[in-house]
Amino acid sequence: MTATQFSESSIPYNPEFVTVANGELVSKYTYHNTIVSKDAATNKVSIKPIQQDYKFKLDLKVPKVGVMLVGFGGNNGSTFLAATLANKHNIAFHNKEGLQQPNYLGSMTQSSTIKLGVDAKGNDVFVPFNSVLPLVNPNDFVVTGWDINAANLGDCIERSQVLEYDLQRQLKPLMKDYVPLKSIYYPDFIAMNQYDRADNCKNEIPSDNTTEKRAFSVTDKWADVEKIREDIRNFKAEKQLDSVIVLWTANTERCVPILAGVNDTKENLIQAIKNNHEEIAPSTVFAAASILENVPYINGSPQNTFVPGLVQLAEENNSLIAGDDFKSGQTKLKSVLTQYLVDAGIKPLSIASYNHLGNNDGLNLSSQKQFRSKEISKSSVIDDCINSNDILYPKEAAVEGEKPVDHCIVIKYMKAVGDSKVAMDEYYSELMLGGHNRISVHNVCEDSLLATPLILDLIVMTEFFSRLTYKKVDANGVETSPEAYDNVYPVLAFLSYWLKAPLTRKGFKPINSLNRQRQALENLFRLLIGLPANDELRFEERLV
């Protein structure tokens, strides 16, 4: 079932807790948690169960959604457009294995299921994830974007060498009329090996001398913000869109320092943009423009775009943001394997991760400053898992400045392998009584064909959260705001499943465990249709 086929009567829900009428779903839910305190002297643990009643409201009308990709002409951007067009027009194609049908494999929202319950015989009942509540259909996306290179998208899919030739051949006539909007290029933020590609930039300084090297202005960054805002408004008006979502899938930038008076508050950040501060990156410009237009912005690369000032700006404008860095192959597997080891009481001592790839992302990452951004996002994915077990990793034994697990990450550019990234990992762990265990993984993954479904899911779910509102209800059943509902918090931590270094609310640590991230999404969908959070107690088969 696609989103465009949804009707109110098709939603499975529990009428005890949910009402569906007039294009809205309203559900009541009691959230339970436990406050734990530990006496340092006696090690005695005290627990205090807490609960909070909520009402959620979901607008069931799916809007017409525009997608604007920063880095539209890159491997991910061109593959994303190709996937939506192939599925929309049902383009079958041949490869060496025979006739292939278009699909969205790798997308959680389009190709996975969710457990609703059991049937009369106790068998689990699963339904498609996108059949529970109305989600935008990726076939209906209206797509455009910006790129520092002017190649049309038909040429881009040929250049990227991601898709089978027969599919490229059929898609090229559909894609050649898609031409990227002019982007912005500040040479200091990405590798200099990208300079020759930068022929489609708003901030290029015109010159009549064709032999002269191209020059780029970084003297009016606020004007660049306004140009991006204008692009967003024009796209929305021209295509008659209900909403627009901006997603960064362009080159990895170097990280920026957090500087007092520059990017630490929203006021300082705006002033720093107007002052053309050297630490205002292109991604900062795109994010600020999106937030000021109240358009959701997703950062799919590892640089620290969301400095404190940008987060404050998003909070003030109640504009949705999510990041950082797509979690696709090696890092996703790492979060699962590390969790398995730690949950089994096995102690990882070191994790060595090696990658080589030959696409333009790999070329950009061959520069040390850009690699450092990626290294940071990839290394943090095991932190919450390690911190969950102080039997294996006692807090009192921790040495200041040292990580409890020796975690090494290497990325090398090798042109020959193209988009087929090779990832090799070794997990070296301590076992009982001085024993050791090595797990070695060799993973060859087609980089863009793993990342593109994540882009799709991030956009689908961001749009979903833009239609979800809530209010608190006190113990006496009194609503905090009887008429009004609040929007979800602008930092969409619910999207952590798809991101290596997920943002979260200040004061809360991010969760990287893949199973817990998925469980949160599944349970949210369950509570909205009036079902309790899922568990695997299965009393009906364990108790007599």
Catalytic residues: 325, 374, 421, 500
Residues in the chain: 544
Tokens at 468, concatenated:
């979800």
Those residues with Cβ within 8 angstroms of residue 380's Cβ, 6 or more apart along the chain or in another chain? 500, 501, 510, 512
Task: Give just the sign of the alpha carbon dihedral 414, 415, 417, 418.
Answer: positive
Q: If DSSP codes are grouped into helix, strand and coil, which group holds residue 36?
A: strand
* Spatial separation of the C-alpha atoms in residues 112 and 377, rounded to whole Å: 26
8 Å CB contact between 216 and 203? yes
CB under 8 Å to 426, separation ≥6 — which residues? 350, 351, 352, 438, 439, 440, 441
Q: Which of 349, 367, 365 is nearest to 357 (CA)?
A: 365
DSSP state letters, 483-514:
S--EEPPSB-GGGGGGBSS----TTS-----H
Strand order in the sheet with 243-248: 181-182, 142-147, 65-70, 243-248, 297-299, 321-323
Closest listed residue to residue 328, CA positions, set 307, 302, 350: 302
Q: Which tokens go with 298? A: 């997703």
First to last CA, the chain: 39
Among 13, 9, 24, residue whose Cα is nearest residue 56: 24
The secondary structure of 413-431, three-state, reads: ECHHHCCEEEEEEEEEEEC
Q: Which of 154, 274, 263 is nearest to 226 (CA)?
A: 274
Question: Whole-angstrom Cα distance, residue 145 to residue 200?
Answer: 12
Question: For residues 194 and 364, is the Cβ–Cβ distance under 8 A?
Answer: yes
CA–CA dist 119, 117 (Å, integer):
7
